[in-house]
Chains A and B, each alone.
Chain A
Amino acid sequence: MAAVEVEHLTKRFGALAAVDDVTLKVEHGVFACLLGPSGCGKTTALRLIAGFLAPDGGTIRVGERLLSSRNGVVPPEKRNMSMIFQSYALWPHMTVSENVAYGLRLRRLAKAEIERRVADILTVTRLRAQADRYPADISGGQQQRVALARALVVEPEILLLDEPLSNLDTNLREEMRFEIRRLHDAYRYTTLYVTHDQVEAMTTADLLVVMNQGRIEQLGSPEEVYQRPRTEFVARFLGGTNILRGRRVAEGLVDCGSVVLRCGAGQFGGNEEAIVSIRLHDIDLAADGGRALPVNEATGTVARHVYLGGQRDYLVALPDGQQLRVVTPPAIDIPVGTTVKLRLPPERCRVLPE
């Protein structure tokens, strides 16, 4: 029962540091998500943990065992991990059963035992009917489940997943998300899941690790990271937000031009410039509310209005040119061009360092 410990991990490709001084500890049994945009280093970090790449600096340990360092790397076949690749990497010249049985055959289990375990996992992943078919002849969702079955049948301690759902359509993605989490809960291994999809990350993760340009921006539980983002990047990336730029004029008070905001959350950085983040659905919108109060209220004009069924998405232009996006319940229906009053409650205004 060992934790995965990554310390000061660095990997360079030429002059670029794809992974830059990353430190992370994932306890056994935890479902950790590495979340970030393309090029943030999450896949490189995963491949370093798997042993396909050698680090330029830092170490990777599982429990007491040193797996990777500058001086050498334990090869992937000796790490007792399992991996699901973005392309699934199913072997086209083997049937579904043969694909799944491969790892067990390498471990020299008895034939009867192999057959039993393969049958069990195929039942769990609902692939019994496809057992003798070839990967080219089954659907994308089924291929994904074969990759899952193949990785799980060897009962790994650590499961690595590299954007496994990005090739599936939306409905299937949702179903598989829950499936992956369900299997994690049933078998209790450690999962490291790389994705750029924040919904995927938030619905499956115990530990969310937000990465950007090779570094960890923030880590914590999904709720923690969403409610209390510590940088502009994290606030934008997870959940979308409005960012207002201004000057700090007093304790907790920021002058953003069109509006002065008292901020009830967050922390100032060292300097005068400050950023305020307020989520799209935290702003109150009213068509006619009289004059705006001096603090935490502003007037603007509706520049764009989109109906999305469950909600309405507004773009409101402020007098000084800044724009705010506001999401409201469908009942609030305000046509384009109307003057509106916006209320930005102080407890929803979060100050972030510049």
Chain B
Amino acid sequence: MSSAALPRTHLDLSGLLFAGLALVLSALVLLPLGWLAWFGVTDKGGAVTLGNFATLVADPSFVAPFVTTLAVALAVSVLSCLVATPLAWLVGRTDMPGRRLVRLLVMASFVTPPFLGAIAWEILAAPNSGLLNQWYRTVFDLEPDAHLLDIYTVEGLVFVMACYAFPYVFVLAANALERIPADLEDASAILGGSRWHGFRRVTLPLLLPSLLAGALVAFLQAMTQFGAPAILALPAGFHVITTRIWSLFQYPPEPHLAAAASLPLLLLTALLLRGQQWALEGRGYAVIAGKSGAPGRVALGRWRWVVLVGALAVLALPVLLPYAALLRTALVPTASEPLTWNALTLHNFRFVFEEFSATRLALANTLILGLVSATAGSALALVTAFLAARRVIAGARFLGFLATAPAAIPGIVLGVGLFLAYTRPPFVLYGTLAILLLAFVTIELPAAYQQLRSALASLHPELEEASRILGASRARALWQITAPLLGSSVVATWCFIFIGAIRELSATIMLTTADTKLVSVIIYDLNESGDLGAIAVLGIALLVITFVVVAVANSLSRRRGDPAP
């Protein structure tokens, strides 16, 4: 008597699952891009033409913003590297006191929405009403139109964008420094090299790939942002490419030109991303490992405190000053009133939370969308990551590619694409929260997928196998072993999608209507009408929610039982 081997019934189910998932992911990514491409190459009559591109190239009102964008992005990139690299070195390699505080402040500037930072800097450095200019006038007893700083300039824009782009470079540089064992620098020292020599010849070359990658990320951030340029460049009288594309949807709308203008931006983003991957793919700079000790720290001696003060001064610019400005503005009835105890009021808070119906609706919408996007996005990312990591079905790599493809689409381009795709039958989603949900899930999916993929990679498959050999089916092993162990990663991913969704502006600005306003758009609208008190309150609310969720995510990543090192 011999018992036949069990048939592989789950093969059919996984085939269906793969097909379904591939369909969903493709639709998410390809539908908006497809419509974008179509609109780019057709005219108002529907005929295929390259006329749109011809118009763009010939018209200086398109070429100038493009050039400006590239110049600004380059400046932001260089500035970010110049600020982030020494900071990363100080935090990672020296005995500067207050390193934890510095890291915290860098993280704070990481999660501050750039448009909020731009508004806060408006409050600080607008030529007439800016707080810093007012103080300057008072101290030096000058005429009312003298000013030290004018934020409504190209330099101002570069400065503000660099404030919120440098953390990307910092993170990459800090991680790279951590991975370079101190033994390498010690080896240089023992052979007679000075500290600076060791840094220049050993550490810096090993850091270069990460610095290059960081520079590219900062460049991309600056190139594809809408919020800060809209707030600072438009009043100054110039456009960048994102604001120009948006302007094409103001009356009278020119969707074809907008689509055509989006395509080069998309191409450039994809190219730069590829460049960043290439930079990080160990270009012969792999550290050949043996066992090595923890990095030793350079003793700064008398300079320790000087350096700390310097670092804090630098970090005051993206974090301390703007937050203080927001707080002040929130607590006084009008922006120009001097700050005294008598002037403090909760009037603005009451206005925002109780009286102004638009803000209450926006808050509700934002929270709902945040919750739903985070849940849907996490689920989608988890299933895709599991299928790809465990190679359960053939072609799982393709799913992974689809999941990470949206990283190459700038927010505004996605907004345009979704607008074009969903304002016509059969799927008229424009004007609903659903279109925003699509946008947020698409935008956040790549990072979520990467996070879960690496969490799964650090989960040894033998943990599931051990349960199977004891009698558990594949599904039971998933439920009892994988899911609990992955739990904290899934929640952390959920939190990051939530934060990403609530602060998104570039795509949102294209897709909201009067009924579907979100907090980020309301802040932008209120800026137009000069209602700084309300903006400050909303901005603080946004920041508080963000910090709470980040704190929850961080504490969960360190929960007991997490198998990741």
**Measuring CB to CB, which residues of chain A are less than 8 angstroms from any residue of chain B?**
50-52, 61, 64-69, 71-79, 81-83, 85-87, 89-93, 102-103, 106-107, 134, 136, 150, 154, 160
Contacts and interface: CB of A to CB of B under 8 A. Distances in A.
Given A89-B465, A89-B466, A92-B561, A74 B5 contact: yes
Nearest to A66: B2
Given A77-B468, A89-B463, A102-B470, A72 B561 contact: no
Interface string B322-359: 00000000000000000000000000000000000000
A106 B563 contact: no
A195 B303 CA distance: 56
B471 A106 contact: yes
A93 B485 contact: yes
A92 B468 contact: no
B8 to A, nearest CB: 7
A64 B470 CA distance: 22
Interface residues of B, number: 29
19 contacts: A52-B465, A66-B4, A66-B5, A71-B5, A73-B6, A75-B468, A75-B473, A77-B470, A82-B470, A87-B462, A89-B465, A91-B466, A92-B485, A92-B562, A92-B563, A102-B470, A103-B471, A106-B470, A134-B560
Contacts of B485: 91-93
B472 interface: yes
A102 B8 CA distance: 26
Nearest to A84: B466
A107 B5 contact: no
Interface in B1-25: 1-8
B291 to A, nearest CB: 16
B484 interface: yes
Interface string B531-565: 00000000000000000000000000000111100
Given A66-B3, A74-B5, A82-B470, 7 more contacts: A66-B5, A73-B6, A76-B468, A85-B465, A87-B462, A89-B466, A103-B470
B462 A78 contact: no
A107 B471 contact: yes
B463 A91 contact: yes
| Chain B interface SS verdict (over half) | loop
Contacts of A107: 471
A178 to B, nearest CB: 24
Contacts of B6: 72-75, 78
Nearest to B562: A92
Contacts of B468: 52, 75-77
B462 A85 contact: yes
A47 to B, nearest CB: 9
A159 to B, nearest CB: 10
A87 B485 CA distance: 16
Contacts of A76: 465, 468-469
Contacts of B481: 91
Contacts of B466: 83, 85, 89-91, 150
Contacts of A64: 1-2
A89 B471 contact: no
B5 A72 contact: yes
Nearest to A147: B466
B188 interface: no
Interface in B451-509: 460, 462-463, 465-474, 476, 481, 484-485
Contacts of B563: 92
A107 B472 CA distance: 10
A65 B3 contact: yes
Contact of A81 (B7, B469, B472): B469
Given A66-B3, A74-B5, A93-B561, A50 B469 contact: yes
B458 to A, nearest CB: 12
Nearest to B466: A89
A123 to B, nearest CB: 21
Contacts of B5: 66-69, 71-74
Contacts of B474: 75
A93 B484 contact: yes
A106 B471 CA distance: 7
A73 B5 CA distance: 5
A106 B463 CA distance: 16
Q: What are the nearest 8 A-B pairs in CB distance?
A: A72-B5, A103-B470, A93-B561, A89-B466, A89-B462, A106-B471, A83-B469, A85-B462
B30 to A, nearest CB: 33
B460 A87 contact: yes
A136 B563 CA distance: 9
Contacts of A79: 469
B465 A154 contact: no
A64 B4 CA distance: 11
Contacts of A102: 467, 470
Contact of B469 (A67, A72, A82): A82
B460 A106 contact: no
A190 to B, nearest CB: 15
Contacts of A66: 2-5
Contacts of A89: 460, 462-463, 465-466
Contacts of B1: 64
Contacts of A87: 460, 462
B227 to A, nearest CB: 42
Nearest to B465: A52
B420 to A, nearest CB: 46
Contacts of A52: 465, 468
Contacts of A78: 6, 471
Nearest to B560: A134
B393 to A, nearest CB: 15
A241 to B, nearest CB: 32
B53 to A, nearest CB: 47
Contacts of B463: 89, 91
A87 B473 CA distance: 21
Contacts of A75: 6, 468, 473-474
Nearest to B2: A66
A76 B471 CA distance: 7
A61 B5 CA distance: 11
A59 B199 CA distance: 60
Nearest to B7: A72
A220 B338 CA distance: 95
B11 to A, nearest CB: 11
A226 to B, nearest CB: 32
A206 to B, nearest CB: 23
Contacts of A103: 470-471
Nearest to A81: B469
Most chain A beta-carbon neighbours within 10 Å: one of B4, B460, B470, B561: B470
B537 to A, nearest CB: 42
A83 B563 CA distance: 21
Contacts of B2: 61, 64-66
B470 A72 contact: no
Contacts of A106: 470-472, 476
A77 B3 contact: no
A61 B2 CA distance: 9
A52 B485 CA distance: 21
A134 B468 CA distance: 21
The CB with the most chain B CB atoms within 10 A, among A78, A85, A89, A150, is that of A89
A98 B470 CA distance: 13
Contacts of A65: 2-3
Contacts of B560: 93, 134, 136
B8 A72 contact: yes
A146 B207 CA distance: 43
Contacts of B8: 72
A290 to B, nearest CB: 51
A134 B467 CA distance: 17
Contacts of A136: 560-561
Q: Which one of A73, A82, A106 has the greatest number of beta carbons of chain B within 10 Å?
A: A106
Given A64-B1, A66-B2, A93-B484, A77 B472 contact: yes
